Structure 1
Amino acid sequence: MSTLNHDEPTHRDLYVRASDPEGILVSDGFAAELSREVHGPGTTPAGDPAAALDDLLAQAREWASAESARYRRVAGSPLFDAARPAVAARIGLNCAPLALNSGAWLQWLVSPGNGDSELSTLVLGLYAEDVGVGKPRSARGSRYLDLLRELGLETRVVPESRLADEPQTLDSAFRLPGVLLAMSRCGAGFQAELLGADVCLRALGLLPPLEFLRDSLHVDARWPALDLGGTAAETSLKIARTFLETGGDETARLLGGARWALARIQEWSGELLDLVVDVLDPAFEMAEMLGQRSRQAAAYHAHFILEGRTLREWFADARDGHGEGFVAALAASKLVKQGKPEVSRLLGRLLDADGPMFRIFSPEDLGVLQRWIASLGDDSTPDVERSAQPAAGSSVLPAAPDSSAAPADDEEPSTIRLAFHRLLHRGDSPGLRRYALGYVSDWLDGSRRGIERVRKPPRTWEPGGLRRWLLDEHDEHDELFQASGDMAAPPREVVLDTYLQLAPLNLVDGSWLAGFTDYRHASSDFGHFLFATHFDELGNGERRLNHAVIYRQLMHEMGFDLPPTATLEFAQWPGFRDESFALPVYWLAINRFPRRFLPEVLGLNLAMELSGVGGTYRRERFNLRSHGFSSQYFDIHNTIDNVATGHSAWAADAVEAYLAGLSAQLGSEAAATAWDRVRVGFRSLKPPKQPKPDEQIAVLTG
């Protein structure tokens, strides 16, 4: 259980809260506090912003080179060889808050409202590289977890609350990633700052302490995945320069984000270097360990006297951060044979099975004791250059939201059109969250009615059976299409109205999966299928293949000049009927709960990807071409959604991976319960009764 103190918020608190994709970070003034943390009282720089960015990145690279040299000098200390495991652990733990989230700050910059822009295409392509698109556990953070596993540190960093409670991790290690993750949860509100921080961090490449871990400590890892430089840095710079072309205040904010990120990295790396130098001295770790154990140990040492004081009193000193005297007293006591841990009482009979300290120390603790005793009598000192960086300055820390006082934007959308508009963006508020949760719950309640009589998908799940079922469904789609014979296209006015009313739906294609852009979900065993699908819907890094872009081209062909999707004008456009927003709002609402409604999202995705393949899409092609319109939107869906290697197959595989994992962990009954929810999600694409408004829209596309 986390011991985080929400009365006095720290960057550790913020890190944990911002790691939750379904958490509420909004409070009055929260965004303003984040902005003050990044920008402070700074002034807007004059001159060419592109040149200013180039100068800043040159400074960042120069600092990284010099800082790496300072770390390398640690290896020249005579104490270094004995301290290797301790040094590796400190670097591994203190790089973890940032490295486990490497690239995560981009996770919510692309939303259903802006996913068709050139900038979003570039950002999503860069982020896809960070999460190892299409491969499970291949995100940069996953690769760093592999490194920690090699160091035996994995159980100390997962989940986020465990890492936040880790005493050997500096407070400063959470400042940069905590604020970055918090800004990422604010949607596009901090786009400029996040892009500035991103280009700065990628210019650094492999962080200096990690470079030291690789070159001097010879730790095995997939280092290329942990290096943010190379092509990723080039893409990030292209994104930053594209953004800078917009000019105005946004330019200053991007540069401010870059400067802030560099300052935080420098402060943290300097503190870590000083810690590494401290750890070279075994007495430092010994004093630290006594301090960490002092609270519980004091209860059992009220009568043992050491140099005229009880151990309880010595432990009180250690708990207050003054354990050096305690260490010195122990070194001079009969409990220790200086330089000879193997014959010291502290590591001998006291720890035997019948001794008073049996199993008190962990293997790591025993290593600290052995190294400390072995070092006694040796006059070697670290004698290594310490950090040249100033101590970290004060910061404005966003406070935990006050649940007793609702923020100013706590109102729920008053109409379905306003809900559509607000849900297009990744920003959140308690009122919008309540609306989304209620809308999804109502929709799923309607989808659940009478489901026991529904035969699709199968009423029971068999491992590996979904792929076979997909093929059967595809055959049925084809048979129905072939049986339609010489079909006639609907009248032109019907075609125009049909596809116009589908615009709010098809212009947010893939939005039901937007929650799986979240860093942890995007590369999970089943989530990687969903992220890869979402990435495809948005063009797979090519704007010309973005489904919303293609559908807008169809609208233009039909003579409809629609406002940009993200604008209020689009939601209020009089050519749309209210019922045309019912299903899109469901998609936009459910994507905010990728954990709470995971089985239902998996089922909805399976229904979406299978719905038109082999049948409906071919009819749409015929209808459009009969009236001289492009059928590209439906043609591309009929190919990428195919049941062999496409989205339908991925959807089935995602369900299989999820249920198989659930069955292995919790048993077949849990998997069966989850399958029932998957079936409800499948049916939710076309429920028997939709919540609000009451009228239904005929869903023709996926």
Structure 2
Amino acid sequence: MVLVITKEKEAVLTHADLCSRLINFESDVDCLLSTAQCLVADMHKACPALPEQFTNWRAIDELLESARLFCESGQLPDQLHLDRQESLRILAQYAPMGLLTGCVLQNVANPANGHTLLAAQAHAAHALLVGAGMHSHNPAVQFRLMLEQLGIFLPALGSSRFEASTAIPLNCWRLPAYWLSLSLFPEQYPGEILGAAFCEALYGTPLMVLEAQQQAAPNLPALEEKKRRLQDALPHLRDATQTLLKQDADGRVRKCFATGFITSASLLREWEKRCLEDWHLGRQQPQRAMVELVRNKARFARGYHNKLKLAGRVFDDLIVQDAQCFVQELGQSRWVSPGQPEKSLLVTRLLAFGGPMFRIFTEQEETVIRDWIRQLPHSSDAAALATDAVDTDPGNVPLVIVESTVSAPITCVRELYHQLLNLEQYPQIRNSATAFCNSWLARSAQGIHKDDNALPFSVYSHQALRAWFEARAATQVQSYAEHGGDNEKSREDVIDEALQLCPMILIDGAWLRRWSNAGLVETPFGALLYKILSDEIGNGDCALNHPNIYRSLMEDMGIHLPNFRSREFVHFSRFNQTAFEVPAFWLSVSLFPQKYMPETLGLNLAMELSGVGGAYRSARDELRRHGFSTLFVDLHNTIDNVSSGHSAMALEAIELWIDPYLRSNDQQQLSKAWLRIWTGYRALSVPTRSWREWLHPVRYPY
């Protein structure tokens, strides 16, 4: 691997750390893209030779049957007869995969291609694997809930705390790191992504994980529900693969599909092998587990035993510096009766109620201690092998340091729109998107307390927001009732207004582009935003895709547009420059869902509420008057309704997100959060630019 370094010291990441950064993916993007690209290339290079049945087949069902048999042949057939402690350990080691179900598909459907058949079919599969906008149906949410009911509490996805989690060896993140990296390049690796997704669906949950769940939580349905969703996703993945293979003139797509499938299957088998080795070591060497336990607890013990000695060494020093030696000496001390935990003072006095170590260890950790004492007479060689407890494969990934040249940000909204639609070809556009977002939001925030769209109330409460929401919806309905039929526009004016909306409507939902991603989609408010996004792009059906419905309206009006991803589109002579301003902001802000989360929530509310009851009904009258289809506006007037539609979902998403601020009783932070939400709401309209900005450009503080 070629490592581009601009510093003197080479930088490396663990696979866990890489996953965390890829889930957040808003800073050091150039480095992460290059690192992910290198990781994918290295994984593919290490992929075993492709079996002949994967490259030499006639019908797709023949390929899929070969894939199914390949997966079944790799599963461990025999039961392990796990105990509870072993089961919990296996379930924790499966967590990186269990919490990232479907992540390899997360970017296949995006604003640039959501109208195409391939993207629709892949999105239908992804929706099933993330709960289709229903938080409680997301397999990752169900898996986390199962772990928590078993006493295993893990950090949120994207947290750097995962890297320090002793329950999950770092090598457990190798397959998720591959999937997350692959997901960043849906145009470069469509075949590999579908192959990887097929592998996840066909391989399913490894048998040892299912056995662990049956032993530890037989009444919890999380893994059974995941199995059902994976099976339901298979027909959609089959359709997407068939669509992609129609473009395969030279057999390259077949090889790409096979590469993604075999690489994923190999990494899954590698995980199973390591998990099985870990289980064998645990059974053969309870001392190994004891050394691991001491090593994990040592830093918390230091300072409590500075007057004690063990084997002539200061207790606190020994436990921190040499866990293996510490365990060996502890086993020979007066606190332990080898083979008899029930007679060992360590258990009966130190760990017992009233003892100095009462509740220092969890129930599972006390089981490790008892098992270690119980096997001491039979462990003469255990100490020599105890080092196997350490994660022998830390899984370091070279971090590619990209030396980026500083250039002036792109300010032309047409060019910004074009490059953001073709993001994989222009990854450097993110710098311009950052500057554009900052300027747009800064100008949107100006006058927030005094102009026509001012903050409706200063002290936030759910009741105040809902009262404003219902009043605003009623005002829009009343406005149509009073003035709906007054404006009789000419046919030419109606066509031109519809045309100027094309750059916006052809990317309908684009402000939510990354809410399909792990780290967002499994949150309660993220599930709602995913549902809105899914509706906008057709829920896996091209005929229901909102931009496609609008394309039909354009054809009905006699307007034939260039491909909207081409430069010809942004320079189409009939488009005004202003037609690209709001769409460019949508595409820009969509890249920063974490940084601009409250602003996105406010923008989403503004967008979903804006036409309901009023503007959509007026537009319907205008279109009908001149004989044009009203399907697009009729659809939005119903799907965005304020009772249970997108407007209601947008409101609920805000309430869910801001609720922790309300409960904290920190009025300052609550007010700041509310101001940011309302800034996003105002950002749907093009903000005015003051002449003062030419001298002193405004900056958004967040």
Same fold (TM over 0.5): yes
- 2:274 aligned residue: 271
**Structure 1 length as normaliser, TM-score?**
0.85
Q: How does 1:61-460 map to 2 (within 5 A)?
A: 61-64=71-74, 66-67=75-76, 69-70=77-78, 72=79, 74-75=80-81, 84-155=83-154, 160-221=159-220, 222-227=222-227, 229-247=230-248, 248=250, 249-281=252-284, 282-293=286-297, 304=309, 306=311, 318=322, 323=324, 327=327, 329-350=329-350, 361=361, 363-377=363-377, 399-402=398-401, 405-406=403-404, 412-413=409-410, 415-425=412-422, 427=424, 431-453=428-450, 454=452, 458-460=456-458
Change (3 A) 1:219 1:283: farther
Q: How far is 1:662 from its partner?
A: 2.1
Name the CA shift for 1:277/1:529 in 2 (closer, same or farther; >3 Å).
same
Specify the SS of the correspondent of 1:9: strand
Measure how far apart 1:468 and its partner are: 3.6
User: Residues 449 and 458 (structure 1 numbering): CA distance in 2 closer, same or farther, change over 3 Å?
Assistant: same
Quote the residue 1:48 is aligned against.
57
State yes or no: 1:664 paired with 2:673. no
CA distance in 2, matches of 1:649, 1:296: 48
In the alignment, the residues of structure 2 paired with residue 504 and residue 37 of structure 1 have an alpha-carbon distance, to the nearest angstrom, of: 39
Aligned counterparts of 2:98 and 2:617: Cα–Cα separation in 1 = 47
The alpha carbon displacement at 1:30 in A equals: 3.6
- Please state whether the residue corresponding to 2:470 is helix, strand or coil: helix
Taking a change above 3 Å as real, the CA distance of residues 327 and 681 of structure 1, as seen in their structure-2 partners, is: closer
Q: How far does residue 378 in structure 1 lie from its aligned partner after superposition?
A: 6.8
**Identity across the alignment (%):** 28
Cα root mean square deviation, aligned:
3.5
Aligned partner of residue 564 in structure 2, secondary structure: coil
Q: Greater CA deviation, 476-485 or 121-130?
A: 476-485
Q: What is the CA distance between 1:571 and its match in structure 2?
A: 2.3
Is 1:91–1:213's contact at 8 Å kept on the other side of the alignment? Answer: yes
Contact map agreement 1:93 1:153 (CA 8 A) in 2:
yes
2: distance between equivalents of 1:556 and 1:206? 47
Amino acid of the structure 2 residue aligned with 1:238: D
2:680 aligned with 1:681: yes
Q: Distance in 2 between matches of 1:153 and 1:302?
A: 34
Counterpart amino acid of residue 48 in structure 1 = W
- Conserved in 1, the CA contact under 8 Å of 2:20 and 2:160? yes
Aligned to 2:21: 17
Given residue 461 of structure 2, which amino acid in structure 1 is its aligned partner?
E
CA-to-partner distance for each residue in 1:255-275, whole Å, 9 max, x for gaps? Answer: 111110001101111110111
Residue aligning to 1:700:
none
Give how far 1:412 is off.
Answer: 4.2
Q: 1:260-310 deviations in whole A, cap 9, x for unaligned?
A: 00011011111101111222242221132244456777886898354x888
What residue in structure 2 maps to residue 387 of structure 1? none
* Structure 1 residues 547 and 467, CA gap change in structure 2 (3 angstroms): same
Report the more deviating stretch, 589-598 or 38-47: 38-47
Residue 634 of structure 1 deviates from its aligned partner by 0.8
The answer to whether the Cα contact below 8 Å between 2:350 and 2:356 also exists between their aligned partners in 1 is yes
Alignment of 1:580-591 (within 5 A): 580-591=579-590
Q: String of CA shifts for 1:78-130, please: whole Å, max 9, x gaps.
A: xx5xxx23212211221011111111222222111111111111222222222
Which segment is superposed worse, 412-421 or 510-519?
A: 412-421
Distance 1:457 1:543, change over 3 A: farther
The residue type equivalent to 2:153 in the other structure is: E
Instruction: Tell me, yes or no, if the aligned pair for 2:298 and 2:320 is still in contact at 8 Å.
Output: yes
Mapped contact 1:603–1:679 kept (Cα < 8 A): yes
**Partner Cα distance (2:24, 2:392) in 1:** 27
Q: Is the 8 A contact 2:126 2:233 kept in 1?
A: no
The 1:559–1:176 alpha-carbon spacing in structure 2 relative to 1, beyond 3 Å, is same
Taking structure 1 as reference, are residues 516 and 233 closer, same or farther at Cα in structure 2, changes over 3 Å only? same
How far apart, CA to CA, are the structure 1 residues paired with 2:90 and 2:486? 69
Report SS of the residue matched to 1:280. Answer: helix
Cα distance change on mapping 1:394 and 1:446 into 2, 3 Å? closer
Alpha carbons of 1:667 and 1:31: their partners in 2 closer, same or farther (altered >3 Å)? closer
CA apart distance, 1:326:
6.0
Normalising by the residue count of structure 2, what TM-score does the alignment of the two structures yield?
0.85
* Deviation of 1:220 (Å): 4.0
Structure 1 residue matching 2:559: 3-state secondary structure = coil
CA 1:51–1:517: 2 relative to 1, 3 Å = closer
Check 1:361–1:646 CA distance in 2 against 1; reply closer, same or farther (3 A cut). Answer: closer
Q: Distance in 2 between matches of 1:212 and 1:411?
A: 57
Q: Deviations over 1:652-690 (max 9, x none)?
A: 222222222321135344223222222222121124515
State the distance in 1 between where 2:214 and 2:357 align. Answer: 39
Give distance in 2, aligned partners of 1:210 and 1:650: 36
CA distance in 2, matches of 1:467, 1:353: 52
Equivalent pair of 1:6/1:13 in contact (CA under 8 Å): no
User: 2:386 aligns to what?
Assistant: none
Look up the SS of the partner of 2:612 in the other structure.
Answer: coil
Question: What does residue 697 of structure 1 align with?
Answer: none
CA deviation map 1:463-491 (0-9, x unaligned): 23434433322332232222226535322
Q: What is the count of residue pairs matched by the alignment? A: 662
* Distance in 1 separating the partners of 2:280 and 2:476: 68
Are 1:57 and 2:67 matched, yes or no? yes
Q: Secondary structure at the match of 1:521?
A: coil
How far apart, CA to CA, are the structure 1 residues paired with 2:147 and 2:380?
Answer: 30
CA distance in 2, matches of 1:303, 1:652: 60
Q: CA deviation at 1:640?
A: 0.8
> How far apart, CA to CA, are the structure 2 residues paired with 1:357 and 1:523?
38
- Quick check: 224-233 or 642-651, which moved more? 224-233
Structure 2 gap ranges (5+): 1-8, 383-390, 694-702
